[in-house]
Amino acid sequence: MTIVALYGTESGNCEMIAEDIADTIDGDVRAEDMSVFDPADLDPATLYLVICSTHGDGELPAGAQPFWDRLSATRPDLSGLRYAMFGLGDRTYTETYSQGSEHLDRLLTELGAQRVGDYGRHDASGFDDPSEVALAWAESVVEKHAPVFA
């Protein structure tokens, strides 16, 4: 099974998390940057672990915007595509906490993709290490959903 940790970042935290996931999870796992990833390359045989931060007032980070723009413009049928979502944000901003990932989640679902596993989140106002939280989430998703791709 192929796994892609697809990240959209503003400050680099999501890139670090995606690379940690790619280095830790066994198998064919790689990190891909949304700023250069072509949505035409989305493959239903691949499990996508989407990691996205939030910027400003709940907007997508600059690194996720190109992917969002291409998906919105081409509106491909993503039926059969499975992904899991992990959002980063700061819970002290109650109105916009983790909204960057939620924008992507809504668009992927609208285009027919299916989210699997728990929606993972990291709260920057807490004391948990973002990579540790994301690794636990990713391992859980892969353990539960890898058989679907076998």
Question: What structural domains and CATH numbers belong to the chain?
Answer: 2-149 (3.40.50.360)
pTM: 0.92
Of 57, 50, 29, give the one whose Cα is nearest residue 108: 50
Whole-number Å distance between alpha carbons of 41 and 35: 13
Q: Position of tokens 């400003």?
A: 56
Q: What mean pLDDT is predicted for residues 15-43?
A: 95
Written as six digits, the tokens of 53 are 């931060």
74 conformational bin, left if phi > 0, alpha if psi -120 to 50, beta if neither: alpha
- Does 34 have pLDDT greater than 70? yes
Q: What mean pLDDT is predicted for residues 16-20?
A: 96
SS3 126: coil
- Return the higher-pLDDT residue of 137 and 130: 137
66 conformational bin, left if phi > 0, alpha if psi -120 to 50, beta if neither: alpha
- Return the higher-pLDDT residue of 45 and 99: 45
pLDDT in tens, 54-110: 887 778 999 999 999 999 999 999 999 999 999 988 777 677 777 889 999 999 999
Q: State phi, psi for 124 to the nearest 5 degrees.
A: -65, -20
- Return the higher-pLDDT residue of 131 and 123: 131
Burial-class residue 32 by CB neighbours within 10 Å (0-12, 13-18, 19+).
middle
User: For residue 16, what pLDDT is reported?
Assistant: 95
With contact defined as beta carbons under 8 Å apart, do 88 and 14 qualify?
A: yes
